[in-house]
Structures are given as structure tokens and as C-alpha cells.
A and B are shown apart, each in its own frame.
Chain A
């Protein structure tokens, strides 16, 4: 019986599952105040709540049909900020999908949706950000 108890405790210890959501999250992003204009290269700044290992992280642009394009990202001027370079985009629905390796060793996967509006020179997408910009 004692062996069964010990064995059971050991089994219990070795079998564990954990949620995939992680410690690092995007707290803010520049899309909320500066929307992407059509056919123009832009930069998006993401603000994380934790230090990020940028060399081990990936940020993708996802377009219609869930086509993925790896984007270039650099560290921002302040802690936890990352600047992502967005290529010129045609009007439509897009998403930023990122896999971020935080300094605490956890991997974060998240998605930020945004809309590129056809209206030239107006911050149309920014005005519509509430319904159009959300996270998975």
C-alpha cells in the first residue's frame, strides 16, 4: 500500500498539463492611434508587459487566406517595446501574429487584427479600431 501511495504520488508528479497562454502580453500597440495607410510602408510599435528575447521571436503579417509573411522587428526605444516594419499593403483585413519568447522563458502566441482602409490620407482605420481591432 505504501508503495502504491509513493508510486501514485510520483505518477501524479510526472503527469501535468499547463495552459499555453503565457506571462508576456501585448499591453498596447500603435495601431490604436496610428492606423496603417494603404500602399505605404509603415511601422507598428508593440508594447509588452515583460522583457522580450527578440532574436528568438517571430512576427508574421497574416493576410486573406491566412497567408503568412515574416516581418522584420527591432527593439524600440523603451523597455518592452518592439517596432515591426509593415510592407505596403492593399486595402483589406490583416492580422499580426506573433510568437514571442519572453525573458521569463515562456512562449506567448497572440494575434492582433487590423484593417487597412482604402481612404487615402485619412485615419479611417484608426477611427474604426474598436470594432476592427481585436485579439485572438
Chain B
């Protein structure tokens, strides 16, 4: 039960940030972008109703999540301590600060639900909602990591809250844009509103990103004091991932802005209506993953605190160095023989067999993916070069490349956790729910298998309106999210990081794969073809990383 409580505890961190972005981002959207008190023909009742609904629903969800976090902490403490954690837990900042924030959030959501929703065009009601939100926003400062630190505590708390505000403004704004696009598609707002809101958001979005950067930089400099700390620790690595994801999202933002400018210059709204909505969908995907990465980053020890456990850049580069893949596995008996010594706390003996077992799993998976992505590339061409023309008749079979995922899922099911069922002595339920790492592997295995089945069915379907093709990018994005937050328990911090760095890079490529495929399905040419190629290329990169993977001896 401890594993499930710990798993759920970490899960709510990302959900908390999403709800916060919905509530506070919607409030800022109303105050600074929509400004409904200035009458506009496009401001329909449906628009205001939906905008405010996102605000209070996000707020109520945030309050619920806050309560859930407290309950989970109590559960986790009880599981670990083997006793009821009170009265000690009642004295913690997490308990009192969490309760206060929950009540303040309820006040904001309650006011929006009871009063703002009935006076959606009233400036006074919007301003009042903003005033009520101020203490709620400030109360969050006692729940961030800076609150537990000894140096520069107050500035760091303030910067973190401001950083969260910038992120909430941007991401909440993106959610609101998706909302407007859906309303426009259902003809509940006039079509003219779409370019107006996009243009307004353009400037607002830039201000939000500027705030994220201005507040994020000093936090990063406080927690990371060397280049090695940036490159060679889990904290630095996840920060790097955040920067990459931010750049990806900004890339989409730039495409949106270009389309708005093109519309402004020529009046041509083709890109505005046929590309921008899908860029925004992809951007939303990236930003949601970014929020979960941010939650994950918050659980890492800052690089400045672990100078002796920091990897060098040479060690990091070495994890990606090309090498001959391991194609032979140690026997299951040899692996199990070394397990007792490997997991011992006192008198631990590193297991060569365990490392070789893991290398084999990763390398073979890499070969699977590399071959699959190569076949996937073939599925996009109609004819091979003349030297290989005798194989042209087999080209139609290339569309079945997702079958590789099914085979990979079966392979992982047997090989992921050697000490657990079906190969090992620990039963299925016992291993799955008492070990967070095994649980993650089980989910990943199921994910890969389902991914293959769904995509195979999607490619075999002749229904042009089938929704099945969209399952693949969503599951790929989820897979990326898992990789970005993958845990390896029981390693030294440095070893854990050297494993993490490969997984996080694969997570980024998985997200690229997901966004590329999503856009391939949605866009017209030539964007469709570019996105499709980028998607398959990302899969190829994941295959290469896995094929050359080497686990540290532990």
C-alpha cells in the first residue's frame, strides 16, 4: 500500500498544477485578454459561461486536489510509520498550509460560481474575484520547496509563486483558446472572434513567457551552481527537459503568431482556421507534459546540495555512445542468484547478471524500435530505388509496422522484472502493488501492447472518420510522460541519474513522436508530410538510444 500511496502522492503534483493553471489562468484571461466589460459583438453568453465555468471548475478541482494531497500524506505517513501520524502531522506546514490554501481556493471558486457567473460582464465582479484570489495565490508559497530551505527562503518562495503565475497565465490562456476554438466550431461564437482573441493572446502570451523566464532564471541559478550540476544531476536534467519543452511550445507559439500576422497583412485566414487550431492542440499537449515535468523536478534534490553525487559531462555523454548491442542474456537462474546480494543493504554485492539482463532488455527493445521505424519510413514511399525494385511487391506490408509494438509488449512482459511473475518467484499482485518501479514497468508494457494493437487496427481500417488513429499519438505522449518521470529505486543517486538521463531524452522524443503524428493526422500538405517524417525520425532516435543503452553496475 505504501507504493500506491507514494505513487498517488506524486501523481497529484502534476494534476494540482493543471487545475491551478485552469483556475488562475482563466481569471487572468478574463481580466487581461477577454475584458468582458468592454462590450463586443463576439462576446456571447455561451463564451462567458464557458470561460467562467473553466475558472470555477478548475478552482473546485484544485481545492479537491489539495484535500486529496493531505489525505494521501496521512495515508503515506501511516503506512511508513505503522501508526496514526497525528498529532505530529497537524503541526506541519503541509497540513496547516494545505488546509488554508484549500479554504482560500474554495472562496475563489465559490465566488466565481455564485456571483461572477451571474454577472459575467461586470468589471467589479471580475476585479473582486481577482482580489479574493490574491491570498490564495500567496498561500501557495508555503507549499513549495523553497519553504523548507534555509538560505534565501523568502525570495525563493516569492520567485516560485511568480513563476507559477506566469506558467498559469500562459497555459490557462492556451486552454481558453482551445475552448474558443471548440465554441467557434459549434458556431456558439462568431468566426470573427477567433483571430481577435489569437491576436490579443499573442502579446499576453509573450508577457507570460517573459515572466516565466525572469523568475525561473534566478531560481535555477540558486539551485544549480555549476555546469556539471546542470548536465550531471537529476535536477539539472529535468530543468533541461523543461527548457526543451518550453522551446517546443514556443515553436508552436511562433507558428501561431506568424499565421496571425499573415492574416493581419493579407486578410488570408486559411492558416488561422486550418493549421493554428491544431498547433494549439499540440502545444497544449506539450504544456501538460511540461507541468508534470515541473512537478517531477520539484521532487529532485537541487544540484547545489549534491556536489559529490554529480556526474561529469563525459559520463553523461558516455551513456549515449554507440556500442555493439548486447544480444545474449544471462540465464534467469544466474540473475536470481545475484539478487539477494544486490538488494542487501549491509554487504551489498553488485550483480553483473542484473546489469547484463537490463542491458539486454533495453538493447533488444532498441533493435525492435529501430527496425520498426525503418519499416515505417518505407510505408511512406511507393517505390524502392531501382537496385531494390524486386522488393517493391512487399512494400504494402510495411503498413503493418505497428505489429512490432505488440511483439515488443510481449517481450517486455516476460523480461521487465525478472524477480516477478511470470519468470520470478514474486506473484503478480504482490510485485505490481508493492513496488513502484514494477508498477511503472507493468503500465509501460501494457501501454506498448495496446499501442501496437490500436495502431494496427487504425491502419487496417477503411473508415475515413475513424478515431482510432488518434489513440497512437495520445498513448505515445503518455509513454513520453512516463519516461520523463521514470524512477529507478535502490540505486546510488549518481547511478540513478545516469539511467534517468537516457530515459528523459527518450521521453522528449516520445512527445515529439506524439505531436508529429497528431499533426500528421490533422494538417494538410506540406505540414502533414513534415510532421509525419519528424514523428518517425523521433521513433528512430528512441530506438538508437535504447540500442546503445548500458546500465551502471549496481
B301 and A21 contacting across the interface, CB-CB below 8 Å: yes
- In angstroms, Cα B289 to Cα A50, docked, is 28
**Given A13-B288, A14-B15, A107-B80, residue A8 in contact with residue B481 (CB < 8 A):** no
A107 engages B500 (CB within 8 Å): no
Q: Contact: A66 with B485, CB < 8 Å? A: no
Of the candidates A11, A62, A111, which one forms a contact with B474 in the assembled complex, judged by CB atoms under 8 Å apart?
A: A11
Within the complex, which residue of A21, A94, A102, A134 is in contact with B234, where a contact is CB–CB below 8 Å?
A21
Which residues of A (42-63) have their CB < 8 Å from a CB of B?
Answer: 49-51, 53, 55-56, 58, 62-63
Q: Residues of B within 8 Å of A, CB-based: how many? A: 71
User: Which A residues lie within 8 Å of B344 (CB)?
Assistant: 66
CA distance A93 to B348 in the complex (A): 11
B150 within 8 A of A: yes
A49 contacts B301, C-beta separation under 8 Å: yes
Instruction: Give the complex CA separation of A17 and B9 in angstroms.
Output: 9
Chain B residues near A16 (CB, 8 Å)?
10-11, 13-15, 292, 295, 481, 485
Using CB atoms, name the residue of chain B closest to A17. Answer: B485
Which of A2, A4, A11, A50 is close to B148, meaning CB atoms less than 8 Å apart?
A50
Set A2, A23, A58: member contacting B299, Cβ < 8 A: A23
**Cross-chain contact A19 with B147 (CB below 8 angstroms):** no
* Chain A residue nearest in CB terms to B305: A49
The answer on a CB contact under 8 Å between A93 and B15 is: no
CB contact list, A6-31 vs B, under 8 A: 8-9, 11-25, 27
Q: A residues within 8 A CB of B289?
A: 12
1/0 per residue B80-92: CB within 8 Å of A? 1100010011011
- Contact check, A21 vs B281: say whether CB atoms are below 8 A apart: no
B114 to chain A, nearest CB (A): 26
B41 within 8 A of A: no
Taking residues whose C-beta sits less than 8 angstroms from the other chain, chain A's interface range is 35 or more
- Give the CA-CA distance A47 to B443 in the complex, in Å: 37
The proximity string for B residues 469-495 relative to A, scoring 1 for CB distances below 8 Å and 0 otherwise, is: 010001001100110011101111100
The 4 A-B pairs with the shortest beta carbon distances in the complex, nearest first, are A18-B10, A55-B88, A103-B148, A8-B474
**CB-based nearest B residue for A109:** B489
Is B347 a contact of A64 with CB atoms below 8 Å? yes
Q: Quick one: closest A residue to B304, CB to CB?
A: A49
Give chain A residues whose Cβ lies under 8 Å from the Cβ of B292: 16
Q: Is B419 an interface residue (CB 8 A)?
A: no
A106 to B297, CA, bound (A): 12
A-B contact pairs, 11 of them (CB 8 A): A13-B18, A16-B11, A16-B295, A17-B7, A17-B482, A22-B301, A49-B302, A50-B148, A56-B81, A66-B344, A103-B94
Q: Which residues of B contact A95 (CB under 8 A)?
A: 345-346
B150 close to A51 (CB less than 8 A): yes
- Bound Cα distance A58, B485 (Å): 26
Q: Mark A100-130, 1 if CB is under 8 A from B, else 0.
A: 0111111100010100000000000000000
Residues in B with CB closer than 8 Å to A49 are 149-150, 301-302, 305
Chain B contacts for A136, CB-based, 8 A: 345, 490-492
Report the Cα distance A95→B295, complex, angstroms. Answer: 31
Q: Which residues of chain A have C-beta atoms less than 8 A from B443's C-beta?
A: 15, 17
Q: Mark B1-20, 1 if CB is under 8 A from A, else 0.
A: 00000110011011100100
